[in-house]
Chains A and B, each alone.
Chain A
Amino acid sequence: MNKDLVSMIADLNEQEALKIVKDRLNAGEDPLRIMEDARKGLEIVGERFASNEYFIPDLVYSGEIMKLITELVKPKLTREEETRKSGKIVFGTVKGDIHDIGKNIVAFMLDVNGFEVIDLGVDVPEQKFVEKIKESGASIVGLSGFLTLAFDSMKQTIKAIEDAGLRDRVKVMIGGGQISEEIRKYTGADAYGRDAMAGVTLAKKWTGIN
């Protein structure tokens, strides 16, 4: 049976996927086509996650497989991959909070779905968000936080964006363990998401992509 790369990645078959990549590279295939297939595989992973067939470990594992494939392919790349990014998102865990597992998962899902994620990391001061929004021209901001203290940091970050005159330029989404509609209202965010897919759905809606 001819096992293709797209389905091997979609099915999280690490060994087979890596073998196919090596074979195709050895056969002299255009590395960009291999990367394209790999990305299609990840898209299916994303779809399965969206339909509750896959869960967080599957995402983490697919990301790991992708990393290994990229390591194999990268040295052979002669030209840059075209970026087909559908929108820029400034992303980070707010001031005072260093939790990043949730943030990383959402960033990964946004990336898989074609968004350019500018990840500022954890414990990010308000001004850093403001600067990055200005610098990148991003239209979406994602604020993550796990602690109850993050509620106020989120509120302050959104206030800082407003004070910088950028609030009309960006849509703000928030997320994290204890985030709810009440917290959204409190912080002044445009929306909140309970899981990574909710984040993707919001980003697509806001950028007009289906």
Chain B
Amino acid sequence: MEKQWVDMSPEEKQEEMFNQWLSPRDPEGNDLKFQSPGTQKDYIERVTIIKDAIQMKKLPARVPVIISPSFFPCYYAGITPQEAMYDYDKLNMAFRKFLLDFQPDTNIGSIGPGPGRAFEILDYKLYSWPGHGVSPDSPYQCNEGEYMMADEYDALIEDPSNFFITTYLPRVFGALEGLKMLPAATGILEIFGVATNFIPFGLPPVQATFKALMEAGSEALKWIGAVSALGNETMALGFPGTFGGFTKAPFDVLGDTLRGTRGIMLDMYRQPDKLLEAMDRLTPIMIKMGVNAARMNRHPLIFMPLHKGADGFMSDEQFKKFYWPTFREVMIGLINEGVIPFPAAEGYWNSRLEVLRDIPGGKTLWMIDQSDMLKAKETLGTVACLAGNVPSDLLKLGTPEQVKDYIKNLIDTVGKDGGYIVCNGAFFDEAKPENLRVMVDFTREYGIYK
């Protein structure tokens, strides 16, 4: 009899997650039909070199190459970010063209831009998106603010879901005002008085909110239909997806979209214990979010965009106290379920590299931006696969020859004994197409391990 999931070790679970990634399914749950035996072979080879690079047990056949753009595919294909967010045919056209023209080893997919119409229906305030606060040819950008107040930690800690539903969501989505009036669902218990819980649902503001939710839901459904169609189509052509989902470090959950940068920085001084308690509370939630996405998408790589732990954003002492413990705990939680945390250390993380190495070997993948790559290799790189470091300025302004030299050096040094994936360091909107082309072509040619 096959071993039950609960009896498996983290290593066995990881192996199983990789096996699932290696054998993709179609939306009906059947084995995906590849376009040809050749594309199936490509798919398996691509997943396998990434797997080998991450596990660091044996040398991959060659250095993998990933490109992670933000809105670059739109500009490249001649559509605006606004078109990408409102016309899903154009969206897929752009991201398909990007993938097929450059042929990196994974498909970033067309999920990034998101459904503009749904955001409009919801009156999404947390972001300005093309045509709504920024020009049609700009990417969406965050409107940082205090969407959770300094005195709301207890409410968050007590019942995170209820806090999100009745306090955070109405602040972030103008059309969801009615959620403020909802009762906690945990009060719905037995027939005596149960109907009082449903009174709010009869009130006009709540009904308007639900109407908006239903409309936004229909739009989101249309959008995800397009996004997943492109995902399946490109898998059949031999390209695995880049991520299986995402989760976040608890400090960033609070610092990015709840308390804001200023708010969380003040909390470190004024109410450190509340902040620590809230992060502990969010930790299992963030683990579950990543694990569930990986299982649902049969893809072990869970992306974790890191923001407020970079060099300078706090002292090393603050990093060890506030940022690292729960971030590490989320990664360990993922690893224990066979999932590969894929954190992106944007900016500089040089002073944190020693701390970051305190994780089990061969179970994580790190997108590194501008940190010192050699230092990263000697520290974090002894236990983790590194990706990235191809700089935005080089991709935008350099020549293909310069890109080639830069990548050659990365492969020669960081990629010497495996454990490295060629990738851009930060998400980008603009680059010279010939530079991206050389990034892939040169890696394929030069990155073969002999």
Contacts and interface: CB of A to CB of B under 8 A. Distances in A.
Interface of A: 12, 14, 54-58, 60-61, 64, 96-101, 123, 147-149, 151-152, 177-180, 182-183, 186, 195
A99 B265 CA distance: 18
B394 interface: yes
Interface stretch (B173-181, B230-238, B312-320, B440-448): B312-320
Given A98-B128, A149-B429, A60 B397 contact: no
Q: Looking at chain B, what size class is its interface with the partner chain? A: 35 or more
Contacts of A56: 265, 312-314
A97 B269 CA distance: 31
B392 interface: yes
B396 A148 contact: yes
Contacts of A148: 392, 396, 428-431
B141 A57 contact: no
B138 interface: yes
Given A60-B265, A64-B262, 20 more contacts: A56-B314, A57-B265, A57-B269, A58-B315, A60-B261, A61-B265, A64-B266, A96-B137, A96-B138, A98-B128, A101-B144, A101-B261, A123-B134, A147-B141, A148-B429, A149-B138, A149-B139, A151-B393, A178-B391, A183-B397
Nearest to B127: A98
B289 interface: no
Interface string B21-42: 0000000000000000000000
B134 A96 contact: yes
7 contacts: A60-B261, A147-B139, A147-B429, A148-B429, A151-B397, A178-B428, A183-B393
B312 A195 contact: yes
A128 to B, nearest CB: 15
A92 to B, nearest CB: 15
A57 B144 contact: no
B269 A98 contact: no
A148 B314 CA distance: 25
B90 to A, nearest CB: 19
Contacts, number: 84
Contact of B392 (A12, A100, A178): A178
A152 B397 CA distance: 11
A99 B127 CA distance: 11
Given A57-B269, A57-B313, A99-B141, A182 B393 contact: yes
A5 B314 CA distance: 25
B134 A61 contact: no
Nearest to A60: B265
Given A98-B141, A148-B431, A177-B426, A12 B269 contact: yes
Which of A12, A56, A61, A123 has most chain B Cβ within 10 Å? A56
Interface in B178-220: none
Contacts of B143: 98
A177 B138 contact: no
Which of A149, A178, A180, A186 has most chain B Cβ within 10 Å? A178
A121 to B, nearest CB: 13
Given A97-B141, A101-B261, A14 B269 contact: yes
Nearest to B143: A98
B433 to A, nearest CB: 14
B397 A182 contact: yes
B312 A55 contact: yes
A182 B393 CA distance: 7
Interface string B130-158: 00011101110101100000000000000
Given A148-B428, A178-B392, A186-B397, A60 B141 contact: no
Given A178-B392, A186-B397, A96 B135 contact: yes
A159 to B, nearest CB: 17
B361 interface: no
A53 B167 CA distance: 38
B83 interface: no
B398 A182 contact: yes
B140 to A, nearest CB: 10
Nearest to A123: B134
Report the 6 A-B pairs with minimum CB-CB distance, sorted nearest first.
Answer: A57-B265, A178-B392, A148-B430, A60-B265, A182-B393, A180-B393
Interface string B104-145: 000000000000000000000000100001110111010110
